Amino acid sequence: MKNFDHPLITSPQNPGIKAAIALHRRRGRDAAGLIVIEGTREIERALERGIEPAGAYYCEEIADGRFLAAVLPRLETAAAQVSRVTAKVYEKLAYREGSEGMILLARRPRSGLDGLPQGDNPFYIVADGVEKPGNIGAIFRSADGAGVSGIMVTGGGTDIFGPNAIRASLGTVFTVPSAESSSDEAADWLRKRKVRIIVTSPAASLPYTEADLASPCAVVVGSEDAGASESWLDASDVKVAIPMLGVADSLNVSTSASILAYEALRQRSRADGKEGK
């Protein structure tokens, strides 16, 4: 591996290290306009999708040499501030265990509604009030796999660009277009574009398999505890249920989103004559 001549930081009290550790909290990330990306796969996907790097810390004792040889020149070209750290410092710096030896700091991506792709026949997922990073990350993974047009995140909830959400998504938060907005703004945006709003609800009588997911639509899945908010239930064109045959009355929100995303893919594949080919 090339011997990169980056400054070596040996103390956790280094001002840059302390500033990076402050980014573990959402308040710190929001104030700095930065996100923290850990893991080789996540970093590679972020860079491939044009995420703007601001800085990086790496530990040669931990990181894979081939990964460093491939990534560090890209960071240098982007004029990111890059530093080497000792294993002791990296242990303090890392947000989680097993983060593979590099921490990438990047500018937070812009995520407005008008940045979402529209196309002729869009299919969106609306994640309303989802609070757990693992769930929002899993929704992004399913959306990436099923070819969802984009994800709208409403009702507050977790930070979609938080370190745990990025990790749970395997970096697909960078591959699936997304927007954060209020529920009212998102519903208005969808109505103006004649996109039908389909809300999942245990009280609905229509099974999700009987709803039209082949035409332009957005499926709303609600928070882990309360489900979709009243504002989305009021805004809905259709309410659908996922059959529950046991004692539980609902599924995990990411599971519900995955089921609806792949049902939409099935219906659209059949409409295009691709099913079974």
| Alpha carbon 10 to chain centroid, angstroms | 33
- Tell me if 27 sits within 8 A of 21, measured CB to CB: no
Distances 172 to 34, 189, 195, 242 between C-alpha atoms, Å: 18, 24, 24, 25
Mean pLDDT of 52-74: 94
Give the span between the Cα atoms of 195 and 147, in whole angstroms. Answer: 17
Whether 274 has a pLDDT exceeding 70, the answer reads no
pLDDT of 223-266, one tens digit each? Answer: 877 788 999 999 999 999 999 888 887 789 999 999 999 999 99
Place of tokens 């659908």: 240
Distances 66 to 161, 162, 195 between C-alpha atoms, Å: 26, 27, 46
Place of tokens 């990411």: 254
Whether 277 has a pLDDT exceeding 50, the answer reads no
pLDDT of the residue at 275: 54
- Tell me if 155 sits within 8 A of 183, measured CB to CB: yes
pLDDT exceeding 70 applies to what percent of the chain?
Answer: 97
Q: Which long-range contacts (CB under 8 A, 24 or more apart) does 73-79 make?
A: 74/47, 75/104, 78/52, 78/53
Query: Which pair of tokens denotes residue 95?
Result: 């947000």
Mean pLDDT of 156-178: 94
pLDDT of the residue at 276: 44
pLDDT of 66-106, one tens digit each? Answer: 999 999 999 989 988 999 999 999 999 998 877 799 999 99
CB neighbours of residue 37 within 10 Å = 28
pLDDT of 183-203, one tens digit each? Answer: 999 999 999 999 999 999 988
Domains of the chain: 8-107 (3.30.1330.30), 113-271 (3.40.1280.10)
Q: Which phi and psi (to 5°) does residue 207 adopt?
A: -65, 145
